[in-house]
Structure 1
Amino acid sequence: MPSSTGSQTWPDSTEGDYETKNFTFLDGSTLPVLRLHYRTLGAPKLNESGQTTNAILIMHGTTGSSANFLSPQFAGELFNPGQLFDSKKYYIIIRDGIGHGGSSKPSDGLKANFPGYGYQDMVRADYELVTKGLGVNHLRLVMGTSMGGMHSWLWAGMYPDFMDAAMPLASLPTQISGRNRMLRKMVEDAVRGDPEWNNGNYKRSTDVRGFTTALYVLSIMSSVPFQWQKAAPDRESADNFLDKWITDHTAGVDCNDFLYAFEASRDYDPRPLLEKIEVPFLAINTADDQVNPPELGILEDGIKKVKRGRCVVYPHSENLRGHASHSWANIWLEEAKRLMHESEKH
């Protein structure tokens, strides 16, 4: 049976876990068992040479999970029969990165003794999941949103022969720096500086008042001035909007998991990899993204170093959703179609 929300439907996904023994992180720490949770739609197809021809890897953002992609604005626009990523045609892999969703994470029990994973660890683990766990030896497309977009830059540079195309959304090809880094440091300092955090040994996330402060910072990072003004046009509605936003982003979130997810960006820097990227590569951002402001020019400078790369920055419009535009497929669907056509092997 298909999954549905409202009038939107899309095919069911199959969930599973892959476990790898004694996974070694780049900082030298290890986990006896690293669990990687995933969902798949469709089935893999092989060509005469035994190469997987139809697998698509989709990666989520910071503090997110694979469930984020099972929504009307994403799955409802992409996975149905006749749509761009029709699950009868493609084998779609949407996984929970290390520290997120159903994968191994601090809240499983180790708390602040969990390895300090970074983005390169997450990508290496994903590669093992895809190849050893799911038996896929080639990807038709690597794509991701926000943190997953940053992972897409890394994937394309670290494994340049493993895919036909790559499409990062809402990300930049540079080390986390400038205002982005400053806001992330505020998030980290707010949690670690709170005595109630107690080196990760709190009883409840809500006891850590610095966690709420961190969420205030996150609200600024992900804000959408145009849409939020429409949603909260007066003082009272603005106050209620913020209160609900904080409540929604607190529910079911563990403070240590949240902190680790933000600190994982410490090793992100795809600049040394850009010239190694060989496949058709499309980077998509939007002009109203508070995390990746277009006026910095970083995307345009970086894409020049990618042999077959191009970028699109959508101008301000009522249809955009700020940083979250990455998850509204109707915004970037036509460009994604173009990329799939450009990278099609005949």
Structure 2
Amino acid sequence: MLKPQYHILKDFQLESGEILPEIKLEYATQGNKKLDNEGNITNAFIYLHGWSGDYTSVENLKSVIGPGKAIDTNHFYVISPTALGAPGSSAPSTSGLKTDFPHYTLKDMVRAHYELITTKLGIKHLNGIMGTSMGGFQALHWAIEYPDFIDFLILNGTSHRISNRMYGMYHLMNQMITEDYGYMNGNYTDNPLRVMEKSSALSFLWSLSPENYETCFQSRSEFLDGMGDREKDAHEWDANDVIWRNKALLEHDLGDEISKIRIPSLVVAINQDQIVDFNFCVRPMHEGLKNSQLFNYDSIWGHYGCVRDVQKAEGAIKNFVKTIYEKEC
């Protein structure tokens, strides 16, 4: 079981110019460190979680990250941080600042982790980064901001841009929350659960593949029960945290900037992903990256297949990582 650790960054300046006197960053590690003669870690690998995750999300990928797996923790020292803005790390809810918490960007999320990696852990170079969904957005920013810091990228269920439909869904989610009477301009005492449940249901209705909705539920009442179960997930979400995170996500469009990325990259995608659309988001990213491979597969779980069915990509990941280090020999 992973054990969380914490690091405080002082006077952290955001891209906006605003300064947070301190931010807390949560993270966990697994695997054994390998050190060079100067005591530097030489086998570091970062896993970056998706929209609703935290440092424990790496455990959902045990089929590809772990002892003897494609990302072998016998060889890699795996670091899984909780993103800036997600509970566990500093966020509107956990900082106590609520709406006074500054709006942050994906670049801010990346730089916070860079500071954690370099100042707290003393790492001067990463073997690789794997980012799932919104974690993949961050991985791309890592590659642009720190191109000489990383050997390879694994981009899992993600893209360099969000589609219009994805933009509309997260924009609507924010609109629903902010217009709800329980939100109280963000100064609520009790989290507005009713609208948070509806926001989660909105996400549920397009996260899976069309086949899943038709074949995994045997009746309308069973389907509604499934949607109700998903609504309960939102009981763990804070309204301000969600709004701030969505605003960072809605700005994600790297455009032609991805052509600057020369780091070897493996793009892992699901054909039935309705959130990160294959034709409008994945394929253009693969074609825009100068040094990428593409592995796509079918999953009835749609976008969630990037976690639930990621074992289908284990061989591709293992071969990709093997070729990276064969080239160095």
Q: TM-score, normalised by structure 2?
A: 0.92
For 1:20, the equivalent position in structure 2 comes to 9
- Per-residue CA deviations over 1:82-125 (Å, capped at 9, x if unaligned) read 22223232100001000113100111211111111111110111
Task: Note if contact 1:282-1:310 (Cα within 8 Å) is conserved in structure 2.
Answer: yes
Q: 2:195 aligns with which of 181, 203, 210?
A: 210
1:108-187 equivalences in 2 (<5 Å) = 108=94, 109-174=96-161, 176-187=162-173
For 2:25, the equivalent position in structure 1 comes to 36
Q: Are positions 1:231 and 2:220 aligned together?
A: no
Amino acid at match of 2:289: V
For 2:314, the equivalent position in structure 1 comes to 333
CA distance in 1, matches of 2:294, 2:234: 34
For 2:89, the equivalent position in structure 1 comes to 103
Amino acid at match of 1:130: I
For 2:303, the equivalent position in structure 1 comes to 323
1:80-99 equivalences in 2 (<5 Å) = 80=67, 82-99=68-85
For 1:302, the equivalent position in structure 2 comes to 285
- Post-superposition offset of 1:274: 1.6
Task: Note if contact 1:325-1:331 (Cα within 8 Å) is conserved in structure 2.
Answer: no
Deviating beyond 4 angstroms after TM superposition, the runs of 4 or more aligned structure 1 residues are: 48-51
* Gap change, CA 1:70 and 1:138, over 3 Å in 2: same
For structure 1, list consecutive stretches of 5 or more residues without a partner in the other structure: 1-11
Q: Are positions 1:284 and 2:264 aligned together?
A: no
Task: Note if contact 1:157-1:270 (Cα within 8 Å) is conserved in structure 2.
Answer: no
Where 1:23 maps in the other structure, the secondary structure is: strand
CA distance in 1, matches of 2:250, 2:192: 26
CA distance in 1, matches of 2:99, 2:128: 35
Task: Note if contact 1:55-1:93 (Cα within 8 Å) is conserved in structure 2.
Answer: yes
Q: 1:311 aligns with which of 263, 269, 294?
A: 294
- Per-residue CA deviations over 1:167-217 (Å, capped at 9, x if unaligned) read 11111122x34111111110010011113211111122245x432332222
Q: 1:56 aligns with which of 45, 51, 57?
A: 45
CA distance in 1, matches of 2:114, 2:46: 10
Percentage of matched positions with identical amino acids: 27
CA distance in 1, matches of 2:122, 2:31: 14
1:232-247 equivalences in 2 (<5 Å) = 232-247=217-232
Task: Note if contact 2:27-2:82 (Cα within 8 Å) is conserved in structure 1.
Answer: yes
- Post-superposition offset of 1:302: 3.0
RMSD between superposed Cα atoms in Å = 1.9
CA distance in 2, matches of 1:224, 1:236: 19
- Post-superposition offset of 1:229: 2.9
1:190-201 equivalences in 2 (<5 Å) = 190-201=176-187
Where 1:343 maps in the other structure, the secondary structure is: helix
